[in-house]
Structure formats: structure tokens, C-alpha cells
A and B are shown apart, each in its own frame.
Chain A
Amino acid sequence: MKRSPLRDLIVGIFVLCGLVSIGYLSIELGGLYYSGPAGFKLIATFDEVGDLKPRSAVVIAGVRVGQVVSIELDDILRARCELDVDPNLELDVETSAAIKTAGLLGEKFIALEPGGSDEMLESGDEIDRTVSALSIESLVGKFVNDTGLEGD
């Protein structure tokens, strides 16, 4: 219990180093945050989202511009995703949203592709044109079905 400033200092530095390393792992490697500008809400509804999750990336032309906030079922049993993207983007109403996969088996993300309309999307609007996730499993299943290779 003796006061020992040096020891207190060392303990402080130790705790700081530990926290920095945890922070590094979380933010840098784990991709905890989309740290860019945000606040512009969009809704996109898909038949199939695969293993898209809240916090999955939203990208335009490969550049990350936002993240998925939530995924819920709507009343006709489609997956309704709420996106949070950079409000500085000028997205028109013909913008389409597609669920894509990084690499063959990698993470799912939503790719937005701007259309050619003059009318702009407002925050909270819904994106009409959506392309659902292609799952390897269903592709393989389809291939197996089509070629009649399925076992009995």
C-alpha cells in the first residue's frame, strides 16, 4: 500500500499499452468501425442476403462508403436492410444495390451502383433495384440438380 509513484507510472503505462493493443486489434484488424462520414439512411430489400450481417460494408466502385445497420424480415418475408452511408454522396433513384462476396468464400458486402436519373435519393428512401446474394451452396445445389447427380 506504500505510495510508489514509479510503480504507479509503470502500471499506468502497462495498462495503456494493453489497451492500445486491444484497440489496434479491434479497429485495425477487426474492422470495428466504418469511421467515414455517415448519417444518410437507405433501405434495400433482398430475397436472399446470405451471411450478410449488421456492420457489413457498403461500397461503391470498391470504395467503402458506409455499413449495414440492421437486417430484418419484412411482412412478405424478404430481408429488409437498413444502410448508413456517407451523406455527401449524390445517389440517384436508379441506384442499384447488389450483395457480393469478397473472393470465392469471403465476406458478404453490399455494392451500390449509381444509375442515370436526375432525381436524387433522400435519406430514408428505399432502393428499388436490388440483386440478391448468390450463394455457392445454392449454385452447387443447382448444378447438381440440373445434371441429375444428386444421390438418392
Chain B
Amino acid sequence: MIENMGYRSLVVLEHLGKIAQFALRIVVCLLGRPYRIRRIVADVYDAGVLSLPVVCLSGVVVGGTLSLLGYTTLVRFGAEEALGALVGLSVIRELGPVLTALLVTGRAGSAIAAEIATMVTTEQLDGLRMMSVDPVDFVVSPKALALLIVMPLLAGLFIVFALMGGYGVAVGLLGVDGGSFMASMEGSVKFWNDVIGSFSKAITFGALTGLIATYRGYISEPTAAGVSAATTGTVVVGSVAILICDFFLNGFWGV
């Protein structure tokens, strides 16, 4: 049992080392060559545009829910003007980047892992190698970069839609004054702490998801079970990594 745990932590460490090397290879590929614009655009389409509906819808719902819950608490203290601040701060600082990252990991990260794993299974990556084309350069790095690009954009859209949802529920449903909602939000949200912090998180999560999804696909076993393990692994490891990373980033940016 204890032996097993020791072995497992060794495996985890080994993977961490390999992920670091893999990340380095991706960075070298991205810096070393003229960008593969066409492939990156295609991957941004797959990861970003196709994630739009789920991200925007979730944003509206989360913002609305936050307004509803926040109002019932704040109204007891007669502080319902602070609703804008509450919705704005929690969406921008925390929920926006984290929920977007979780959604994108589930939707685009898993798809990327499955696609790369399938390419391993059907020898497509070996085929590239035999044509003297590095699969990390040709397949992996455009996808990793696409997730990095897409994450802050989607987080921005998520936040805007969440604020719209929050505003809609607060003003339309709960009868809060629209002006005071916006004023309280604008007064409490600060550029350096909140907005920059939020997008730093989103970019970090984008890099993290891109790395985990591509790595997990790349090392998968060449079987159908390998493909499904890569998909599940990406979602599980990716989500946990995002939450842990968020914890440390919150500590770093201060509360």
C-alpha cells in the first residue's frame, strides 16, 4: 500500500518532468518557425468558436444566479445597491476565468486530446515523422497555442455575458436600479487587481489546459481504450490542475 503510493508519486513526478520537456518543445516549435497560421486558425475555430454557445449560455446563467442569490442576502442588510459590486467582483475575479477554463477543458481540451490520441492510434503521427515533419510542430503546438489564445477571449465573453445576465436579473426581475447596479460595479472593480488578475488567470489556465490536453493525447496508448483514457484524463487532470492553480494564483495576487 505504502509502496504503491511511493510508486505512484514517482510516476507523477516522472510525468511532471516529461510535461516540462514537452512544454519546452512546444515553445521551441512556436518560436523557431514561421507560425502555421492556417492550422492555428483552424484550431482556434474548433476550440474557440465551437465553445462559444456553451460559454455564453453558462455566463448568462451564472450571472443571473449570482444576482438572485446575492440579492436575497444583501437585501437583509439593506445593501442591495452593492449587488453590482458583488456580481462584478465575483464574476471577474473568480468565476469568469475558472468556469470558462473548466468548460473549455471539458469541451475543447477533451476533443484535442481525443484527436491527437486517434492520430497516435492510426499512425498519423508516425506518418508525419516519416515525412520528416515533427508532429509536435505540425499538430501539437498549433493546438496548444490555440487554447492559449482562446481562453482569455472566451473568459472575456463569459464575463460580459455573466454581467449582462446579472444585470438582467437584478434590474428586470428584482427591481434594483440599473444605474446604481452599474455604479457599484464600476466603483469596485479595479483594473490592476481585478481585470489584469482575471486575464492573467485565464491565460495561465489556457496554457495549462493546452499543455495537458496535447500531452495526454500525445502519450496515449495506440488503442481505442487509449483514446478514451486520454479524453477522461484530460478532463480530470485538467480540471483539478485548474482549481489548484487558481488557489495559488489567488494567494499570489492577494485578496
Question: Do chains A and B directly touch (beta carbons under 8 Å) in the complex?
Answer: yes
Residues of A within 8 A of B (CB): 1, 3, 7-8, 10-11, 14-15, 17-19, 21-22, 24-26, 28-32, 53, 55, 102-103, 106-107
Residue of A nearest to B43 (CB): A11
The listed residue (A15, A24, A29) touching B153 by CB distance below 8 A is A15
Quick check: A29 and B156 within 8 Å, CB to CB?
no
Quick check: B42 and A18 within 8 Å, CB to CB?
no
Give complex CA distance A119, B128 in Å.
Answer: 78
| 30 CB < 8 A contacts A-B | A1-B42, A3-B38, A7-B45, A11-B44, A11-B45, A14-B48, A14-B153, A15-B153, A18-B152, A18-B154, A22-B152, A22-B153, A25-B159, A25-B160, A25-B195, A26-B191, A28-B186, A29-B189, A29-B195, A30-B189, A30-B192, A30-B194, A31-B186, A31-B189, A31-B190, A31-B191, A32-B191, A32-B195, A55-B191, A55-B192
The listed residue (B41, B187, B196) touching A11 by CB distance below 8 A is B41
Tell whether A21 pairs with B160 under 8 Å between CB atoms, given A10-B49, A31-B186.
yes
Q: Is B157 an interface residue (CB 8 A)?
A: yes
Q: A55 to chain B: which residues have CB within 8 Å?
A: 191-192
Quick check: B153 and A18 within 8 Å, CB to CB?
yes
Q: Is B88 an interface residue (CB 8 A)?
A: yes
Tell whether A21 pairs with B186 under 8 Å between CB atoms, given A7-B45, A11-B45, A15-B44.
no
Quick check: B191 and A17 within 8 Å, CB to CB?
no
Residue of B nearest to A25 (CB): B195
Classify the secondary structure of A's interface with B.
helix
Residues of B within 8 A of A (CB): 38-39, 41-42, 44-45, 48-49, 52, 88, 92, 149, 152-154, 156-157, 159-160, 185-187, 189-192, 194-196, 198-199
Residue of A nearest to B41 (CB): A11
Quick check: B49 and A14 within 8 Å, CB to CB?
yes
Q: A17 to chain B: which residues have CB within 8 Å?
A: 153, 157
Give complex CA distance A17, B42 in Å.
Answer: 17
Q: A11 to chain B: which residues have CB within 8 Å?
A: 41, 44-45, 48-49
Give complex CA distance A21, B156 in Å.
Answer: 5
Q: B191 to chain A: which residues have CB within 8 Å?
A: 26, 30-32, 55
Residue of B nearest to A17 (CB): B157
Quick check: B160 and A24 within 8 Å, CB to CB?
yes
Q: A1 to chain B: which residues have CB within 8 Å?
A: 38-39, 42
New contact pairs (13) apart from A1-B38, A21-B157, A30-B191, CB-CB < 8 Å? A7-B42, A8-B41, A19-B153, A22-B152, A25-B189, A26-B191, A29-B92, A31-B186, A31-B190, A32-B191, A55-B191, A102-B187, A106-B187
Tell whether A30 pairs with B42 under 8 Å between CB atoms, given A11-B49, A19-B153.
no
The listed residue (B49, B88, B190) touching A107 by CB distance below 8 A is B190
Q: A25 to chain B: which residues have CB within 8 Å?
A: 92, 156, 159-160, 189, 195, 198
The listed residue (B49, B52, B88, B192) touching A29 by CB distance below 8 A is B88
Q: B39 to chain A: which residues have CB within 8 Å?
A: 1
Residue of B nearest to A31 (CB): B191
Residue of A nearest to B189 (CB): A29
Q: A29 to chain B: which residues have CB within 8 Å?
A: 88, 92, 185-186, 189, 195
